[in-house]
Amino acid sequence: MGTALWTIAALIALGSCAAAAQPSRATYTNPVLDADFPDPTVIRAPDGYYYGYATQTQRGGKWVNIQLARSTDLVHWRYYGDALPAKPGWAAKTQDFWAPHVQRDGRRYILAGTLLCRGLLCWGMSAAVKNSVTLLPAAFGILVLQT
């Protein structure tokens, strides 16, 4: 009988031990950014945020040259508007900015993308200094022209 009591006591003690809690996985439903946000590129910046850049669009009747959104977890995004609010002079009359690519280089961010300029397809690049929400163009030039 003594062994049976010890066995019952051990089972009760083991049964009261809680299993280690498993971290819950974040769930989401696509799209995570329910908007016209084509050709995106996403980078993770030193501030811990993810920044998403996308092809031009119209929002509220106004053109946005390079779209910008920010997230802490790649699931919940906040739209910030135009990452390139001032177009370069040689592209001032176009509204065709596609497929941006942004890459960090030290304290600078490099923006490259395709655009229509002077009736030709161009590939442009801008070196920029980043603040909390936009890329501020320091220089923007044509690298390749369609011939």
Domain containing residue 52: CATH number: 2.115.10.20
* pLDDT band of 79, cuts 50, 70, 90: very high
**Residue 130 predicted with pLDDT over 60:** no
Give the pairing type, strands 50-54 and 62-64: unpaired
Is residue 17 assigned to a domain? no
Q: What is the mean pLDDT of residues 64-86?
A: 89
pLDDT value of position 4: 58
Residue ranges making up the domain that contains 54: 29-145
State the pLDDT at residue 30. 80
**141 vs 125, which has greater pLDDT?**
125
The answer to whether position 5 is within a domain reads no
Share of the chain above pLDDT 70, in %: 61
Determine the average pLDDT of the residues in 108-127.
72
Residue 11 belongs to some domain of the structure? no
Can you tell me the distance from the alpha carbon of 68 to that of 104, in angstroms, rounded to the nearest whole number? 15
Decide: helix, strand or coil at residue 34: coil
The pTM is what? 0.70
**Residue 46, domain member (yes or no):** yes
- Whole-number average pLDDT of the chain: 74
Given this model, what pLDDT does residue 13 score?
Answer: 53
Contacts of 43 (CB under 8 A, 6+ apart): 50, 51, 102, 103, 104
CA–CA gap between residue 44 and residue 109 (Å, rounded): 12
